[in-house]
Amino acid sequence: MAAGAHVRECTARQLRKQYFSAWRTLCCMNSNSSLLTQEPPLKDFTEDVRRNVSICWYRTKLPPGVLKELHAKSDVKAAVQTLGYLMFLLVPAAGAIWCFNYGPWWGCLLLLFMYGVVSSFLINAVHELGHGTVFKTKILNDVFCHLFAFLGWINHELFASSHIRHHRYTLHPPDDLEVTLPIRLIVWNALKDGIINPRHPIWAIRNTWRIAKGDFRGEWELTLYPESDAASRWIPVRWARAMLIGHAGVLLVSLYFGQWIIPILVSGNGIFGSILFFFCNNTQHVGLQDNTADFRMCCRTFYLNPLARFLYWQMNYHIEHHMYAAVPCYHLHRLHNLIKHDLPPTPNGLIAVWTEIIAILKKQEKDPTYQHVPQLPSTAAPAMQRRSARRAMVADA
């Protein structure tokens, strides 16, 4: 579908939504006038309530019935991904504990580094499980999300509130401040800190302690959790306190038994081996466009080898993930094959994608306003222009 036709179709759909939303509001006013003064709890409303704006995103058309197949969740496929990832965590962790007690010392360091490479991707595990799209059985998503969030010092409650808006308003400030452009990356620091970074757990503990005290800072946190909404703030505060108590318990028990290697493994995520995570995760939006309603212009997809793709929870297919966020990670490869005719050329591997990114970053050093416009193949629908994206934002009642 051409970009102009897409905008007209979306605008008409949004206007219909505006009409029916206004009608529902008028009906509700007759029975419950408190709706005019009470804002729904944070977890129960979308940004359409807080900011009366919606973006009509371009999405590649799929054959009839295919999207339903792609949306289908499987506990078996989820177990392969989740338990497989957990195995990649446990094997080097168990080996490091063995070497700590029986030697050799260099084996312990090597296995700690291997564990760090895997544990650096805990945020991606929390991200996918937090979407609720991995397991068909909902409680399994919740259990593993909490487990991985604990190991990674991740406040999944705060992250979820932010990430809902990131998907709804991807790179449209001020409605999405989870990622803002331009992104400044210092590759040398990544190489240095990606081997060993003892400051990371210190930062994680301080940040968790801050949230545990109810100390929310910065424009984005205060947007997600305004000071006037104490009830919504309690949710991330409670989890921050649970993490502090849990990690303190692990530390005390481990030191009592003389196993100080265990707190390094359980509570020291980020000290070792985050280099692969840096070069995978920082590809997603860097150098691309903001204020566009076309995920092909603001997200990046690239190919990875099967092992790295597994550890990264398939997030190298990032255009696909944003375009159809309800598709489980284990179906993104199939989705990519179905729509790749409508996508920019896909870089093959980390070297290829970072060659592209570094070239963009060099241009941005000379011209801070520069934003890369990915080239689409002749088989693709035209890109949504940034001005078209602004036209596609219409007010809801």
pTM: 0.84
Tell how far CA 229 is from the center of its chain.
25
Distance in angstroms (rounded) separating the CA atoms of residues 106 and 328: 39
> Above pLDDT 70, what percent of the chain?
84
Question: What H or E segment, with its residue span, contains residue 29?
Answer: helix 3-31
In contact, 342 and 379? CB cutoff 8 Å: yes
**Secondary structure class of 38 (helix, strand, coil):** coil
Tell how far CA 218 is from the center of its chain.
19
What string of DSSP letters covers 260-317? THHHHHHH-TTSB--HHHHHHHTTSSTT--SS-SBHHHH--B-B--HHHHHHTTTTTB
What is the residue-level pLDDT of the chain in tens, covering all 397 positions? Answer: 455 555 445 544 444 444 333 333 323 323 232 222 222 333 333 333 345 568 999 999 999 899 999 999 999 999 999 999 999 999 999 999 999 999 999 999 999 999 999 999 999 999 999 999 999 999 999 999 999 999 999 999 999 999 999 999 999 999 999 999 998 887 777 778 899 999 999 999 999 999 999 999 999 999 999 999 999 999 999 999 999 999 999 999 999 999 999 999 999 989 999 999 999 999 999 999 999 999 999 999 999 999 999 999 999 999 999 999 999 999 999 999 999 999 999 999 999 999 999 999 999 999 999 999 999 999 999 988 775 444 444 433 3
Nearest CA among 172, 167, 240 for reference residue 204: 240
The shares of helix, strand and coil residues in the chain, as percent rounded to the nearest 5, are 60, 5, 35
The pLDDT value recorded for residue 53 is 67
* pLDDT digits 0-9 by tens, 352-379: 999 999 999 999 999 999 999 999 999 9
Distance in angstroms (rounded) separating the CA atoms of residues 386 and 293: 7
Amino acid (1-letter code) at residue 26: L
Residues sharing a CB contact under 8 Å with residue 137, sequence separation 6 or more, in sequence order: 75
In contact, 326 and 342? CB cutoff 8 Å: no
Distance in angstroms (rounded) separating the CA atoms of residues 239 and 300: 32
> Above pLDDT 90, what percent of the chain?
78
The pLDDT value recorded for residue 39 is 24
